[in-house]
A and B are shown apart, each in its own frame.
Chain A
Protein backbone atom coordinates (compact mmCIF):
# COMPACT_ATOMS: atom_id res chain seq x y z
CA UNK A 1 0.00 0.00 0.00
CA UNK A 2 1.50 3.27 -1.08
CA UNK A 3 1.00 6.58 0.63
CA UNK A 4 -2.29 8.33 -0.04
CA UNK A 5 -2.09 10.89 -2.83
CA UNK A 6 -1.94 14.49 -1.81
CA UNK A 7 -4.57 16.68 -3.39
CA UNK A 8 -5.18 20.36 -3.50
CA UNK A 9 -7.72 22.62 -5.16
CA UNK A 10 -7.19 26.32 -5.71
CA UNK A 11 -9.37 28.97 -7.30
CA UNK A 12 -7.03 31.20 -9.28
CA UNK A 13 -6.79 32.81 -12.71
CA UNK A 14 -10.55 32.81 -12.99
CA UNK A 15 -10.82 29.07 -12.84
CA UNK A 16 -10.11 26.06 -10.65
CA UNK A 17 -6.72 24.41 -10.50
CA UNK A 18 -6.45 20.95 -9.03
CA UNK A 19 -3.36 19.02 -8.04
CA UNK A 20 -2.97 15.32 -7.34
CA UNK A 21 0.44 14.11 -6.23
CA UNK A 22 0.67 10.33 -6.14
CA UNK A 23 4.15 10.28 -4.66
CA UNK A 24 4.00 12.90 -1.94
CA UNK A 25 7.10 13.39 0.15
CA UNK A 26 8.03 15.65 3.04
CA UNK A 27 8.55 18.58 0.63
CA UNK A 28 5.28 18.26 -1.24
CA UNK A 29 3.00 20.36 0.96
CA UNK A 30 5.48 23.25 1.00
CA UNK A 31 5.96 22.96 -2.74
CA UNK A 32 2.19 23.18 -3.25
CA UNK A 33 2.04 26.32 -1.12
CA UNK A 34 4.80 27.92 -3.17
CA UNK A 35 3.13 26.86 -6.42
CA UNK A 36 -0.20 28.31 -5.38
CA UNK A 37 1.47 31.59 -4.43
CA UNK A 38 3.20 31.64 -7.81
CA UNK A 39 -0.07 31.01 -9.65
CA UNK A 40 -1.62 34.00 -7.89
CA UNK A 41 1.45 36.04 -8.80
CA UNK A 42 1.17 35.00 -12.46
CA UNK A 43 -2.47 36.08 -12.40
CA UNK A 44 -1.52 39.47 -10.91
CA UNK A 45 1.04 40.04 -13.66
CA UNK A 46 -0.75 38.57 -16.66
CA UNK A 47 -4.49 38.92 -16.11
CA UNK A 48 -6.15 41.07 -18.77
CA UNK A 49 -9.12 41.35 -16.40
CA UNK A 50 -7.12 43.21 -13.76
CA UNK A 51 -6.73 46.85 -14.74
CA UNK A 52 -3.54 47.09 -12.66
CA UNK A 53 -1.80 44.00 -14.08
CA UNK A 54 1.42 44.49 -16.01
CA UNK A 55 -0.34 43.16 -19.11
CA UNK A 56 -3.19 45.67 -18.81
CA UNK A 57 -0.80 48.55 -18.19
CA UNK A 58 1.45 47.43 -21.04
CA UNK A 59 -1.58 47.22 -23.30
CA UNK A 60 -2.59 50.77 -22.39
CA UNK A 61 0.94 52.02 -23.00
CA UNK A 62 1.49 52.94 -19.34
CA UNK A 63 4.44 50.57 -19.02
CA UNK A 64 7.18 49.64 -21.45
CA UNK A 65 8.15 46.01 -21.85
CA UNK A 66 11.46 46.59 -20.07
CA UNK A 67 9.61 47.98 -17.05
CA UNK A 68 7.55 44.78 -16.71
CA UNK A 69 8.38 41.59 -14.87
CA UNK A 70 10.97 39.85 -17.10
CA UNK A 71 8.57 36.94 -17.54
CA UNK A 72 6.28 39.22 -19.55
CA UNK A 73 8.81 39.52 -22.38
CA UNK A 74 9.41 35.75 -22.29
CA UNK A 75 5.71 35.00 -22.49
CA UNK A 76 5.10 37.47 -25.31
CA UNK A 77 8.03 36.00 -27.25
CA UNK A 78 6.48 32.54 -26.88
CA UNK A 79 3.14 33.93 -28.06
CA UNK A 80 4.82 35.41 -31.15
CA UNK A 81 6.46 32.07 -31.92
CA UNK A 82 3.13 30.28 -31.58
CA UNK A 83 1.41 32.85 -33.78
CA UNK A 84 4.02 32.23 -36.48
CA UNK A 85 3.67 28.45 -36.14
CA UNK A 86 -0.10 28.58 -36.48
CA UNK A 87 -0.45 31.10 -39.31
CA UNK A 88 -1.75 33.62 -36.82
CA UNK A 89 -4.61 31.45 -35.58
CA UNK A 90 -3.06 31.63 -32.15
CA UNK A 91 -2.70 35.25 -31.12
CA UNK A 92 -1.82 37.26 -28.05
CA UNK A 93 -3.95 40.08 -29.46
CA UNK A 94 -7.47 38.68 -29.80
CA UNK A 95 -9.76 41.48 -30.85
CA UNK A 96 -6.74 43.76 -31.13
CA UNK A 97 -6.21 43.88 -27.37
CA UNK A 98 -3.12 42.54 -25.60
CA UNK A 99 -4.25 39.29 -23.98
CA UNK A 100 -1.76 36.40 -23.77
CA UNK A 101 -4.19 34.25 -21.70
CA UNK A 102 -4.20 31.59 -24.40
CA UNK A 103 -0.61 30.85 -23.52
CA UNK A 104 -0.49 31.82 -19.87
CA UNK A 105 -2.88 29.28 -18.41
CA UNK A 106 -1.21 26.26 -20.01
CA UNK A 107 2.21 27.67 -19.19
CA UNK A 108 1.19 28.22 -15.55
CA UNK A 109 -0.03 24.61 -15.28
CA UNK A 110 3.23 23.40 -16.80
CA UNK A 111 5.19 25.59 -14.38
CA UNK A 112 3.29 24.02 -11.50
CA UNK A 113 4.19 20.55 -12.76
CA UNK A 114 7.82 21.60 -13.15
CA UNK A 115 7.88 22.88 -9.58
CA UNK A 116 6.45 19.59 -8.32
CA UNK A 117 9.19 17.75 -10.21
CA UNK A 118 11.77 20.04 -8.65
CA UNK A 119 10.34 19.07 -5.26
CA UNK A 120 10.94 15.42 -6.08
CA UNK A 121 7.58 14.32 -7.51
CA UNK A 122 7.59 12.20 -10.64
CA UNK A 123 3.95 11.14 -10.44
CA UNK A 124 1.39 13.91 -10.40
CA UNK A 125 -1.41 15.57 -12.30
CA UNK A 126 -2.18 19.28 -12.49
CA UNK A 127 -5.32 20.60 -14.13
CA UNK A 128 -6.67 24.08 -14.63
CA UNK A 129 -10.00 24.88 -16.23
CA UNK A 130 -10.16 21.62 -18.10
CA UNK A 131 -6.57 21.48 -19.33
CA UNK A 132 -4.31 18.83 -17.89
CA UNK A 133 -0.60 18.19 -17.45
CA UNK A 134 0.44 14.85 -16.03
CA UNK A 135 3.79 13.45 -14.94
CA UNK A 136 4.38 9.74 -14.65
CA UNK A 137 1.36 7.55 -15.00
CA UNK A 138 -0.65 5.97 -16.23
CA UNK A 139 -3.28 8.63 -15.69
CA UNK A 140 -6.85 8.23 -16.89
CA UNK A 141 -8.13 11.44 -18.41
CA UNK A 142 -11.81 11.66 -19.24
CA UNK A 143 -12.76 13.83 -22.18
CA UNK A 144 -16.00 15.67 -21.45
CA UNK A 145 -18.81 15.09 -23.90
CA UNK A 146 -19.94 18.52 -25.09
CA UNK A 147 -23.41 17.20 -25.86
CA UNK A 148 -24.15 15.05 -22.82
CA UNK A 149 -23.82 16.87 -19.53
CA UNK A 150 -21.90 15.00 -16.91
CA UNK A 151 -20.57 12.30 -19.16
CA UNK A 152 -17.28 11.65 -20.84
CA UNK A 153 -16.76 10.69 -24.46
CA UNK A 154 -13.78 8.52 -23.88
CA UNK A 155 -10.84 8.05 -21.62
CA UNK A 156 -7.31 8.85 -22.72
CA UNK A 157 -4.52 7.20 -20.86
CA UNK A 158 -0.76 7.34 -20.85
CA UNK A 159 2.33 8.71 -19.20
CA UNK A 160 3.59 12.31 -19.18
CA UNK A 161 0.64 13.65 -21.14
CA UNK A 162 -0.65 17.13 -21.74
CA UNK A 163 -4.33 17.28 -22.71
CA UNK A 164 -6.13 20.45 -23.73
CA UNK A 165 -9.70 20.90 -24.91
CA UNK A 166 -11.28 23.90 -26.58
CA UNK A 167 -15.01 24.15 -26.93
CA UNK A 168 -17.84 26.52 -27.56
CA UNK A 169 -18.24 26.05 -23.85
CA UNK A 170 -18.66 28.69 -21.28
CA UNK A 171 -20.08 32.05 -22.29
CA UNK A 172 -20.92 30.80 -25.74
CA UNK A 173 -18.48 30.78 -28.62
CA UNK A 174 -15.41 32.29 -27.02
CA UNK A 175 -12.74 31.64 -29.62
CA UNK A 176 -12.62 34.04 -32.51
CA UNK A 177 -11.02 33.62 -35.89
CA UNK A 178 -8.34 36.29 -35.66
CA UNK A 179 -8.57 36.81 -39.41
CA UNK A 180 -12.29 37.54 -39.54
CA UNK A 181 -12.97 38.58 -35.94
CA UNK A 182 -15.97 36.28 -35.93
CA UNK A 183 -16.65 33.48 -33.43
CA UNK A 184 -15.53 30.07 -34.59
CA UNK A 185 -18.13 27.36 -34.29
CA UNK A 186 -16.76 24.67 -36.52
CA UNK A 187 -16.23 22.13 -33.75
CA UNK A 188 -18.28 21.50 -30.64
CA UNK A 189 -15.01 20.62 -28.98
CA UNK A 190 -11.48 19.83 -29.99
CA UNK A 191 -8.97 18.00 -27.82
CA UNK A 192 -5.26 17.71 -28.46
CA UNK A 193 -2.80 15.46 -26.68
CA UNK A 194 0.86 16.38 -26.37
CA UNK A 195 3.67 16.39 -23.87
CA UNK A 196 3.86 20.02 -22.84
CA UNK A 197 0.65 21.77 -21.98
CA UNK A 198 1.51 25.36 -22.89
CA UNK A 199 2.17 24.40 -26.51
CA UNK A 200 -0.59 21.79 -26.61
CA UNK A 201 -3.11 24.30 -25.27
CA UNK A 202 -2.04 26.99 -27.75
CA UNK A 203 -2.19 24.48 -30.62
CA UNK A 204 -5.70 23.47 -29.53
CA UNK A 205 -6.85 27.08 -29.45
CA UNK A 206 -5.36 27.67 -32.91
CA UNK A 207 -6.79 24.51 -34.49
CA UNK A 208 -10.19 25.25 -33.00
CA UNK A 209 -10.07 28.76 -34.44
CA UNK A 210 -9.28 27.31 -37.88
CA UNK A 211 -12.67 25.62 -37.81
CA UNK A 212 -13.69 22.39 -39.46
CA UNK A 213 -12.12 20.62 -41.27
CA UNK A 214 -9.01 22.80 -41.41
CA UNK A 215 -8.20 22.43 -37.72
CA UNK A 216 -8.04 18.67 -37.73
CA UNK A 217 -6.13 18.65 -41.00
CA UNK A 218 -3.63 21.08 -39.56
CA UNK A 219 -3.24 18.93 -36.43
CA UNK A 220 -2.68 15.85 -38.56
CA UNK A 221 -0.07 17.58 -40.71
CA UNK A 222 1.78 18.52 -37.56
CA UNK A 223 1.58 14.96 -36.23
CA UNK A 224 -0.59 16.06 -33.31
CA UNK A 225 -3.02 13.64 -31.69
CA UNK A 226 -6.47 15.22 -31.90
CA UNK A 227 -10.09 14.34 -31.19
CA UNK A 228 -12.84 16.53 -32.64
CA UNK A 229 -16.53 16.50 -31.78
CA UNK A 230 -18.75 18.07 -34.40
CA UNK A 231 -21.93 19.99 -33.61
CA UNK A 232 -24.02 17.00 -34.76
CA UNK A 233 -22.24 14.79 -32.25
CA UNK A 234 -20.11 12.87 -34.73
CA UNK A 235 -16.46 12.49 -33.86
CA UNK A 236 -13.25 12.42 -35.79
CA UNK A 237 -9.72 11.80 -34.67
CA UNK A 238 -6.26 11.90 -36.12
CA UNK A 239 -4.43 8.57 -36.35
CA UNK A 240 -2.11 9.66 -33.54
CA UNK A 241 -4.94 9.66 -31.04
CA UNK A 242 -5.52 5.91 -31.18
CA UNK A 243 -2.40 5.43 -29.10
CA UNK A 244 -4.09 7.13 -26.16
CA UNK A 245 -7.63 5.85 -26.55
CA UNK A 246 -8.71 3.46 -23.91
CA UNK A 247 -12.30 2.92 -24.85
CA UNK A 248 -15.21 4.54 -26.58
CA UNK A 249 -18.36 5.59 -24.81
CA UNK A 250 -17.61 4.23 -21.39
CA UNK A 251 -20.23 4.77 -18.76
CA UNK A 252 -20.12 8.41 -17.80
CA UNK A 253 -19.14 9.46 -14.33
CA UNK A 254 -21.69 9.32 -11.56
Chain B
Protein backbone atom coordinates (compact mmCIF):
# COMPACT_ATOMS: atom_id res chain seq x y z
CA UNK B 1 0.00 0.00 0.00
CA UNK B 2 1.31 3.38 -0.94
CA UNK B 3 2.13 5.70 1.87
CA UNK B 4 0.05 8.79 1.52
CA UNK B 5 -0.06 10.77 4.68
CA UNK B 6 -1.92 14.04 4.54
CA UNK B 7 -0.59 16.49 7.06
CA UNK B 8 -2.36 19.62 8.13
CA UNK B 9 -0.36 22.26 9.86
CA UNK B 10 1.21 25.55 9.03
CA UNK B 11 4.64 24.07 9.07
CA UNK B 12 4.58 20.40 8.33
CA UNK B 13 4.16 20.95 4.62
CA UNK B 14 7.82 21.47 4.09
CA UNK B 15 9.07 19.15 6.74
CA UNK B 16 10.22 16.54 4.32
CA UNK B 17 11.17 18.80 1.49
CA UNK B 18 14.45 17.34 0.42
CA UNK B 19 16.65 19.29 -1.86
CA UNK B 20 20.33 19.69 -2.25
CA UNK B 21 23.08 20.35 -4.70
CA UNK B 22 26.35 18.51 -4.75
CA UNK B 23 29.13 20.84 -3.77
CA UNK B 24 32.16 21.25 -5.93
CA UNK B 25 34.19 21.24 -2.80
CA UNK B 26 33.79 17.65 -1.70
CA UNK B 27 35.38 18.30 1.67
CA UNK B 28 32.14 19.34 3.27
CA UNK B 29 31.08 18.50 6.73
CA UNK B 30 30.17 14.95 7.47
CA UNK B 31 28.00 15.96 10.39
CA UNK B 32 24.69 14.26 10.18
CA UNK B 33 22.66 16.03 12.75
CA UNK B 34 21.09 19.45 12.72
CA UNK B 35 19.78 21.50 15.56
CA UNK B 36 16.92 23.87 15.17
CA UNK B 37 17.53 27.58 15.46
CA UNK B 38 14.43 29.71 15.58
CA UNK B 39 12.06 27.02 14.46
CA UNK B 40 8.49 27.37 15.57
CA UNK B 41 5.26 25.68 14.80
CA UNK B 42 4.29 22.08 15.04
CA UNK B 43 5.15 18.81 13.50
CA UNK B 44 2.79 17.05 11.16
CA UNK B 45 -0.52 15.72 12.30
CA UNK B 46 -1.23 12.87 9.95
CA UNK B 47 -4.89 12.49 9.24
CA UNK B 48 -4.35 9.08 7.77
CA UNK B 49 -2.10 7.10 10.05
CA UNK B 50 -3.64 3.77 9.26
CA UNK B 51 -0.63 2.40 7.45
CA UNK B 52 1.22 -0.16 9.43
CA UNK B 53 3.79 -1.32 6.94
CA UNK B 54 6.44 0.98 8.30
CA UNK B 55 6.03 0.83 12.03
CA UNK B 56 8.90 2.55 13.78
CA UNK B 57 11.47 0.18 15.11
CA UNK B 58 11.60 1.77 18.51
CA UNK B 59 9.01 3.40 20.69
CA UNK B 60 9.08 7.04 21.71
CA UNK B 61 11.07 7.92 24.78
CA UNK B 62 10.60 11.00 26.88
CA UNK B 63 13.13 13.11 28.73
CA UNK B 64 11.66 16.13 30.45
CA UNK B 65 9.82 18.22 27.88
CA UNK B 66 11.74 16.82 24.93
CA UNK B 67 11.35 13.38 23.48
CA UNK B 68 12.92 11.33 20.75
CA UNK B 69 11.26 9.21 18.13
CA UNK B 70 13.13 6.81 15.88
CA UNK B 71 11.85 6.19 12.40
CA UNK B 72 11.80 2.87 10.65
CA UNK B 73 15.04 1.79 9.00
CA UNK B 74 14.25 2.04 5.29
CA UNK B 75 16.14 -0.11 2.84
CA UNK B 76 17.16 1.78 -0.26
CA UNK B 77 19.18 0.56 -3.18
CA UNK B 78 22.18 2.15 -1.50
CA UNK B 79 21.55 0.64 1.92
CA UNK B 80 19.47 1.35 5.01
CA UNK B 81 18.54 4.87 6.12
CA UNK B 82 17.12 5.66 9.53
CA UNK B 83 16.43 8.94 11.30
CA UNK B 84 15.77 9.91 14.88
CA UNK B 85 13.79 13.02 15.77
CA UNK B 86 14.13 15.05 18.92
CA UNK B 87 11.00 17.04 19.62
CA UNK B 88 10.36 19.83 22.09
CA UNK B 89 6.64 19.69 22.43
CA UNK B 90 5.60 19.28 18.82
CA UNK B 91 8.55 21.15 17.35
CA UNK B 92 11.41 19.23 15.82
CA UNK B 93 14.59 20.45 17.49
CA UNK B 94 17.02 17.91 16.09
CA UNK B 95 17.21 15.24 13.44
CA UNK B 96 19.89 12.58 13.66
CA UNK B 97 20.52 10.22 10.82
CA UNK B 98 21.48 7.14 12.76
CA UNK B 99 21.97 4.88 9.72
CA UNK B 100 22.92 5.82 6.23
CA UNK B 101 24.62 4.04 3.36
CA UNK B 102 28.35 4.43 2.88
CA UNK B 103 28.95 1.60 0.50
CA UNK B 104 31.27 3.43 -1.81
CA UNK B 105 32.95 6.77 -2.23
CA UNK B 106 30.13 8.09 -4.39
CA UNK B 107 27.53 7.28 -1.75
CA UNK B 108 29.66 8.89 0.90
CA UNK B 109 30.03 11.94 -1.26
CA UNK B 110 26.29 12.20 -1.72
CA UNK B 111 25.45 11.44 1.87
CA UNK B 112 28.06 13.63 3.50
CA UNK B 113 26.57 16.51 1.62
CA UNK B 114 22.96 15.60 1.25
CA UNK B 115 22.08 14.52 4.73
CA UNK B 116 23.00 17.76 6.52
CA UNK B 117 21.04 19.61 3.87
CA UNK B 118 18.07 17.33 4.24
CA UNK B 119 18.16 17.95 7.97
CA UNK B 120 18.44 21.66 7.55
CA UNK B 121 15.61 21.70 5.06
CA UNK B 122 13.40 19.73 7.36
CA UNK B 123 14.09 21.98 10.32
CA UNK B 124 14.12 25.21 8.34
CA UNK B 125 10.73 24.36 6.98
CA UNK B 126 9.39 25.04 10.45
CA UNK B 127 10.64 28.56 10.40
CA UNK B 128 8.27 29.46 7.61
CA UNK B 129 10.29 32.32 6.21
CA UNK B 130 10.82 30.32 3.03
CA UNK B 131 7.97 28.35 1.54
CA UNK B 132 9.93 26.12 -0.77
CA UNK B 133 13.42 25.72 -2.19
CA UNK B 134 14.37 25.42 -5.84
CA UNK B 135 17.72 24.00 -6.58
CA UNK B 136 18.35 20.44 -6.62
CA UNK B 137 17.42 17.02 -7.39
CA UNK B 138 19.15 14.66 -5.04
CA UNK B 139 16.48 13.30 -2.79
CA UNK B 140 16.59 10.43 -0.45
CA UNK B 141 13.61 8.17 -0.47
CA UNK B 142 14.91 6.39 2.60
CA UNK B 143 15.31 9.63 4.51
CA UNK B 144 11.83 10.76 3.58
CA UNK B 145 10.17 7.54 4.55
CA UNK B 146 12.06 7.12 7.79
CA UNK B 147 11.34 10.73 8.72
CA UNK B 148 7.68 10.33 7.82
CA UNK B 149 7.40 7.20 9.93
CA UNK B 150 8.97 9.07 12.84
CA UNK B 151 6.55 11.99 12.33
CA UNK B 152 3.65 9.56 12.25
CA UNK B 153 4.85 8.03 15.48
CA UNK B 154 5.38 11.45 17.06
CA UNK B 155 1.81 12.45 16.26
CA UNK B 156 0.27 9.47 18.03
Chain A contacts for B47, CB-based, 8 A: 29
Q: Which listed residue (A8, A15, A24, A149) contacts B139, Cβ 8 A?
A: A15
A42 within 8 A of B: no
- Contact between chains at A6 and B6 (CB < 8 Å): yes
Interface centre among B37, B119, B135 (most CB of A within 10 A): B135
Q: Mark B1-12, 1 if CB is under 8 A from A, else 0.
A: 011111111101
Known A149-B23, A167-B136: A141·B131 in contact at CB below 8 Å: yes
B105 within 8 A of A: no
A61 within 8 A of B: no
B29 within 8 A of A: yes
Closest to B113 in A: A149
Closest to B140 in A: A16
- Contact between chains at A20 and B132 (CB < 8 Å): yes
Closest chain-A Cβ to B29's Cβ sits at a distance in Å of 7
Chain A contacts for B3, CB-based, 8 A: 11
Q: Which of A188-220 contact B (CB under 8 A)?
A: 188-189, 191
- Contact between chains at B138 and A169 (CB < 8 Å): yes
A90 within 8 A of B: no
Closest to A127 in B: B132
In the assembled complex, the Cα of A7 lies from the Cα of B127 at a distance in Å of: 15
A96 within 8 A of B: no
B108 within 8 A of A: no
In the assembled complex, the Cα of A4 lies from the Cα of B47 at a distance in Å of: 14
In the assembled complex, the Cα of A4 lies from the Cα of B41 at a distance in Å of: 11
In the assembled complex, the Cα of A18 lies from the Cα of B124 at a distance in Å of: 15
Interface centre among B2, B14, B21, B141 (most CB of A within 10 A): B21
Besides A8-B13, A146-B24, 15 new A-B residue pairs in contact (Cβ under 8 A), listed by A number: A5-B9, A6-B7, A9-B7, A11-B141, A19-B13, A125-B132, A140-B131, A141-B130, A143-B135, A146-B135, A147-B25, A165-B134, A253-B120, A254-B36, A254-B127
What would 15 A/B residue contacts be, using CB atoms closer than 8 Å? A9-B13, A32-B6, A143-B134, A143-B135, A144-B135, A148-B23, A149-B116, A150-B34, A167-B135, A169-B21, A170-B22, A171-B22, A191-B135, A253-B124, A253-B125
Q: Give B contacts to A, CB under 8 Å.
A: 2-10, 12-25, 28-29, 34, 36-37, 44, 47, 110, 113, 116-117, 119-121, 123-125, 127, 129-139, 141, 144-145, 148
